[in-house]
Amino acid sequence: MNVNQSAPPVPPFGQPQPIYPGYHQSSYGGQPGSTAAPTPYGAYNGPVPGYQHAPPPPGVSRAPPSSGAPPASTAQGPCGQNAYGQFGQGDVQNGPSSTVQMQRLPGSQPFGSAPLAPVVSQPAVLQPYGPPPTSAQVTAQLAGMQISGAVAPASPPSGLGYGPPTSLASASGNFPNSGLYGSYPQGQAPPLGQTQGHPGAQPPQRSVPPQASSFTPPASGGPRMPSMTGPHLPGQSFGGPPGSQSNHVSSPSPQALPSGTQMTGPPGPPPPMHSSQQPGYQLQQNGSFGPARGPQPNYGSPYPGAATFGSQPGPPQPLPPKRLDPDAIPSPIQVIEDDRNNRGSEPFVTGVRGQVPPLVTTNFLVKDQGNASPRYIRCTSYNIPCTSDMAKQAQVPLAAVIKPLARLPPEEASPYVVDHGESGPLRCNRCKAYMCPFMQFIEGGRRFQCCFCSCINDVPPQYFQHLDHTGKRVDAYDRPELSLGSYEFLATVDYCKNNKFPSPPAFIFMIDVSYNAIRSGLVRLLCEELKSLLDFLPREGGAEESAIRVGFVTYNKVLHFYNVKSSLAQPQMMVVSDVGDMFVPLLDGFLVNVNESRAVITSLLDQIPEMFADTRETETVFAPVIQAGMEALKAAECAGKLFLFHTSLPIAEAPGKLKNRDDRKLINTDKEKTLFQPQTGAYQTLAKECVAQGCCVDLFLFPNQYVDVATLSVVPQLTGGSVYKYACFQVENDQERFLSDLRRDVQKVIGFDAVMRVRTSTGIRAVDFFGAFYMSNTTDVELAGLDGDKTVTVEFKHDDRLNEESGALLQCALLYTSCAGQRRLRIHNLALNCCTQLADLYRNCETDTLINYMAKFAYRGVLNSPVKTVRDALITQCAQILACYRKNCASPSSAGQLILPECMKLLPVYLNCVLKSDVLQPGAEVTTDDRAYVRQLVISMDVAETNVFFYPRLLPLTKSPIESTTEPPAVRASEERLSNGDIYLLENGLNLFLWVGASVQQGVVQSLFGVSSFSQITSGLSVLPVLDNLLSKKVRGLIDNLRAQRSRYMKLIVVKQEDKLEMLFKHFLVEDKSLSGGASYVDFLCHMHKEIRQLLS
Ligand SMILES: [Zn+2]
């Protein structure tokens, strides 16, 4: 069996034509039901435990809507306590999962035969579609770094804190005290505009951004190219480029920020050296590497200044202190830019096994020629070590980030739907893998050998086809399942719960009508919006109207159900006050077709805000609300989604009642993990019931104070739902963000009642899963709902030796109910290469995916381990990965050199961003709810989302010509890249800032803000005025564009330089030292180098 596919002729369906010739292109509609056997998922992966639930007790109580309790002042603290919370920490997922062993095996086994890779200097980017590149190696000359053991860093306070964490006052989101954030701590503002290099070794460079400077070998190539310029000891100072004397800013006063931040100096490889103009300049303390340490012996060549680079291993010379040049270390911006330039112009054709796709930050089209698009599956490596020993040695996690229902750009075709009729999809008899392009037909086409388990299967007569002279079926290119990486099968009744075709799903809107929800204007806003939004429920194909039925519930301490049957003149309310034993008081008239019941629904939505306008009820229940929605779906025998709009900690007497257990004192203690764990197991039990029913829960939170996101989000995360959080919601400030999220959430295509299984060829198997789902066994990922934004990350381990020739195969099969109620299987196949040389592994890794996996691993780890342990494990693993490369793949070189694999040269900078993220190293302004919220959000993010979330995009707006229509090139996320004469946008997928330098030209201020001076700009502004000029249109257009790229609406915050809000903004300048003690990129790279050296010694 050999799955090494050569690129086949372009199949007829390689293009985005909607109809596949000869194949049933889904025409959706309700399926006829049939009564039957009670085996859920009979044919699929074996029986699923059915969560038996007692039938609801009868009884309907009618009561007045409001329970009229006095406003029990449940300490609804004033908003604004937490300004941070308003700045949209994103959202969602994953739940407490199984226990995680944080400590990974040290990769200590010697791996014998790995020869040293030839040191071939090579552009940062792989050749598109070509054969795997030869060894790409980056040597980072940290020769001058004085980080040998002589001076150990002061022991960091928490894992890896460089320097004492700036002591912050207790949480106070308002940043009223400029002392808190007002003065940038010393050491954080490195000299601006350093363009350091080694003129002797470098050829003049073409004009590219300064970021381009690292990692390109000099023309005068020796055997090893010092492509990273000599770093300097942090804490040493080094001169700025000539003519930008004011670059060294210690405590940035606006005037001190020179406009020279955007260095225009000759870029390219190691940037040109500028003579040190301020030789005596002492950079402020730079973390625990100590201020201005002198050069030390035994450390390769102390950075020798100009001409002697690389040839001066001799004794240290008394040099003026220097620092590691930020331009000389790997730049995310440059890597992204290079990949765009090299791989963005041609489509990515998936016909070749083991190809590394373009980066997620590159726009490219995909042509499916037998492997799943990287939009569906991305891997940490596309070349898997043949043996587990080798994998352990390298410590590179083998994982796939899978987004089964990913949305595609309009130019790419959705997966074709294949209908095999009553016999259903063809599968291997033994391992149950689905027919795919890698199955090998033999014996003239009468049998096929399974590419996963090697079992020989008979080809059913109706599927028989002759083979051509190459052994390929002559109809291979007429059948999606024989020639494409991704396709769908129509499922037969055997794949349906209870052997019965599903009913169309239902949406139930469940609205908190307690005092806070009414007072903030939320209820009125929501009801008004729903009137029009209900016309946009998801539908499939050319369906005229959505098949989805809707229902409505309002609640505080009790629940109100509404009968909105089309025959009624007015909606009817039924109150259930016995929340301890929830049941659904009505069946007929609760779930209805929107068009049929439009008049009654509109009337209801008009009445709800009025009915509760005078409520004084502040207490809410929560679990009974979900229970009620789930029971309603159960009674209607359908899957569906609950949309909960909730405001407060559910303290009313009821199942799932919670208490306020927030305690920031637990941070950095062994009990910190409890902050991430749910405070009761009741929600997990409830979630299991929901999953069994195919009841997905989306939660919109509007908290004014702690609501225990960690507990409230358990059900959403285990049911594949989403959580949205709008702290201190006020209609005037937050309605755009909320409505935008709501519209997108309601309209998005979603699969219900889903089960996902990942099969692999012999030798590896899926062992661990991350995401928003539930698992009742070790192989089946159960998803009450799955939408196009959610990913499931799967980790693989060896259970046997792999074979270079046959490679390794993954097949992800997702069984789900479409939003029209059709049962389908979506199949994604991916073939990977296998290697016996470590160098091949390191050449075919994808750092963005590695970071996605490592972040998820860490974020799940905090549920069970102290945060420090989690952080240390990350650092250790990263060091092991890089040390293994150094030891086995890089050519021999001075220990003083940091040598990074080309594909992983951003691993340190990105890992540092994960380590200093709010979950792993919270600042004082980050609340417990924020952390729980972000933790879940990240767990089901795709690779593009984690990429920008951990390393935000910073776009200068006034650098490029105003006429330019393209997005401005990003700059590195560091304060030293900001110039006070410019304006920047910063976004990370959840937050969006517009930073205005204090010396921005008056004309620019006028064009953008409609005021005449910087001082008149309102700090914290969230909407730019609509002005009729080019700049205003361009910036607003860019903002719209950025928002359109993200799955959640990013609220804009205008931040003025030196304003107190600037502290929020600086939190996202991730290359700098953070206020919470997170290391700067430069410091972290030094630290990582030290860790690697320790492993190697
Ligand atoms: Zn098989």
3-class SS at 726?
Answer: coil
| Residue 413 CA to ligand 1 centre (angstroms) | 29
| Residue 758 CA to ligand 1 centre (angstroms) | 13
Q: Are 1049 and 740 in contact (CB under 8 A)?
A: yes
Spatial separation of the C-alpha atoms in residues 639 and 630, rounded to whole Å: 9
Question: So what's the pLDDT on residue 966?
Answer: 81
| Residue 69 CA to ligand 1 centre (angstroms) | 63
DSSP-assigned states of every residue in 944-985: HHHHHHHS-EEEESSSS-TT--SPPPPB-SSGGG--TT-EEE
Say which residue, 897 or 722, is predicted with more confidence: 722
Q: What is the pLDDT of residues 846-902, one digit of tens each?
A: 999 999 999 999 999 999 999 999 999 999 999 999 999 999 998 877 777 899 999
Strands 823-835 and 808-817: antiparallel
The average pLDDT across 287-312 equals 31
3-class SS at 651?
Answer: coil
3-class SS at 990?
Answer: coil
SS3 content of the chain, % helix, strand, coil (to 5): 25, 15, 60
Q: What is the 3-state secondary structure (H, E, C) of 105-166?
A: CCCCCCCCCCCCCCCCCCCCCCCCCCCCCCCCEEEECCCCCCCCCCCCCCCCCCCCCCCCCC
| Residue 387 CA to ligand 1 centre (angstroms) | 22
| Lowest mean pLDDT segment, chosen from 178-187, 500-509, 778-787 | 178-187
Question: So what's the pLDDT on residue 231?
Answer: 37
| Residue 11 CA to ligand 1 centre (angstroms) | 26
| Residue 370 CA to ligand 1 centre (angstroms) | 18
| Residue 720 CA to ligand 1 centre (angstroms) | 29
The average pLDDT across 464-489 equals 96
| Residue 57 CA to ligand 1 centre (angstroms) | 47
| Lowest mean pLDDT segment, chosen from 278-292, 537-551, 929-943 | 278-292
| Residue 383 CA to ligand 1 centre (angstroms) | 22
| Residue 688 CA to ligand 1 centre (angstroms) | 31
Say which residue, 683 or 38, is predicted with more confidence: 683
Spatial separation of the C-alpha atoms in residues 1067 and 1058, rounded to whole Å: 14
Judged against a pLDDT cut of 50, whether residue 430 lies above it is answered with: yes
| Residue 582 CA to ligand 1 centre (angstroms) | 46
| Residue 451 CA to ligand 1 centre (angstroms) | 7
Encoded amino acid at 795, one letter = E
| Residue 278 CA to ligand 1 centre (angstroms) | 69
| Residue 453 CA to ligand 1 centre (angstroms) | 4
The average pLDDT across 791-801 equals 97
Judged against a pLDDT cut of 60, whether residue 638 lies above it is answered with: yes
| Residue 487 CA to ligand 1 centre (angstroms) | 19
Spatial separation of the C-alpha atoms in residues 950 and 989, rounded to whole Å: 10
| Residue 813 CA to ligand 1 centre (angstroms) | 14
| Residue 796 CA to ligand 1 centre (angstroms) | 18
| Residue 799 CA to ligand 1 centre (angstroms) | 16
| Residue 752 CA to ligand 1 centre (angstroms) | 27
Residue 55 CB contacts under 8 Å (≥ 6 apart), including other chains: none
Q: What is the pLDDT of residues 357-398, one digit of tens each?
A: 999 999 999 999 999 999 999 999 999 999 999 999 999 999
Q: Is 294 exposed, middle or buried (0-12, 13-18, 19+ CB in 10 A)?
A: middle
Spatial separation of the C-alpha atoms in residues 506 and 593, rounded to whole Å: 9
| Residue 792 CA to ligand 1 centre (angstroms) | 23
The average pLDDT across 453-462 equals 96
| Residue 812 CA to ligand 1 centre (angstroms) | 14
Residue 54 CB contacts under 8 Å (≥ 6 apart), including other chains: none
Question: So what's the pLDDT on residue 402?
Answer: 98
The sign of the CA dihedral 230, 231, 235, 239 is positive
Say which residue, 58 or 562, is predicted with more confidence: 562
Say which residue, 351 or 897, is predicted with more confidence: 351
Q: Taking all residues of the chain, what is their mean pLDDT, rounded to a whole number? A: 78
Q: Return the biggest CA–CA distance within the chain.
A: 94
Most confident of 239-253, 290-304, 705-719: 705-719
| Residue 433 CA to ligand 1 centre (angstroms) | 6
Question: So what's the pLDDT on residue 925?
Answer: 86
| Residue 692 CA to ligand 1 centre (angstroms) | 28
Judged against a pLDDT cut of 50, whether residue 279 lies above it is answered with: no
Say which residue, 175 or 1048, is predicted with more confidence: 1048
Question: So what's the pLDDT on residue 326?
Answer: 82
| Residue 442 CA to ligand 1 centre (angstroms) | 15
| Residue 21 CA to ligand 1 centre (angstroms) | 29
**pTM of this prediction?**
0.77
Q: What is the pLDDT of residues 6-33, one digit of tens each?
A: 444 444 343 333 334 334 433 333 333 3
Q: Are 650 and 704 in contact (CB under 8 A)?
A: no
Judged against a pLDDT cut of 60, whether residue 184 lies above it is answered with: no
Spatial separation of the C-alpha atoms in residues 967 and 1045, rounded to whole Å: 13
| Residue 429 CA to ligand 1 centre (angstroms) | 6
Judged against a pLDDT cut of 50, whether residue 134 lies above it is answered with: no
| Residue 1013 CA to ligand 1 centre (angstroms) | 71
Strand partners, 787: 750
Spatial separation of the C-alpha atoms in residues 675 and 656, rounded to whole Å: 17
Say which residue, 161 or 966, is predicted with more confidence: 966
| Residue 428 CA to ligand 1 centre (angstroms) | 5
Q: What is the pLDDT of residues 1071-1088, one digit of tens each?
A: 999 988 899 999 999 999
Residue bearing tokens 């390191």: 842
Residues in the chain: 1097
| Residue 430 CA to ligand 1 centre (angstroms) | 5
Q: What is the pLDDT of residues 569-601, one digit of tens each?
A: 999 999 999 988 888 888 899 999 999 999 999
Question: So what's the pLDDT on residue 123?
Answer: 33
| Residue 439 CA to ligand 1 centre (angstroms) | 9
Band the pLDDT of 322: cuts 50, 70, 90.
low
Residue bearing tokens 């990974």: 104
Question: So what's the pLDDT on residue 697?
Answer: 98
What are 213's two structure tokens? 């400077």
Say which residue, 829 or 18, is predicted with more confidence: 829
Band the pLDDT of 958: cuts 50, 70, 90.
confident
Judged against a pLDDT cut of 60, whether residue 268 lies above it is answered with: no
Encoded amino acid at 38, one letter = P
Judged against a pLDDT cut of 50, whether residue 705 lies above it is answered with: yes
Question: So what's the pLDDT on residue 79?
Answer: 60
Judged against a pLDDT cut of 90, whether residue 121 lies above it is answered with: no
Residue 914 CB contacts under 8 Å (≥ 6 apart), including other chains: 851, 854, 855, 858, 874, 920, 950
The average pLDDT across 32-44 equals 37
| Residue 969 CA to ligand 1 centre (angstroms) | 49
Encoded amino acid at 732, one letter = E
Strands (E), 233-359: 348-349
| Residue 763 CA to ligand 1 centre (angstroms) | 13
Say which residue, 828 or 964, is predicted with more confidence: 828
% of the chain surpassing 90 pLDDT = 65
| Residue 773 CA to ligand 1 centre (angstroms) | 26
Spatial separation of the C-alpha atoms in residues 232 and 397, rounded to whole Å: 32
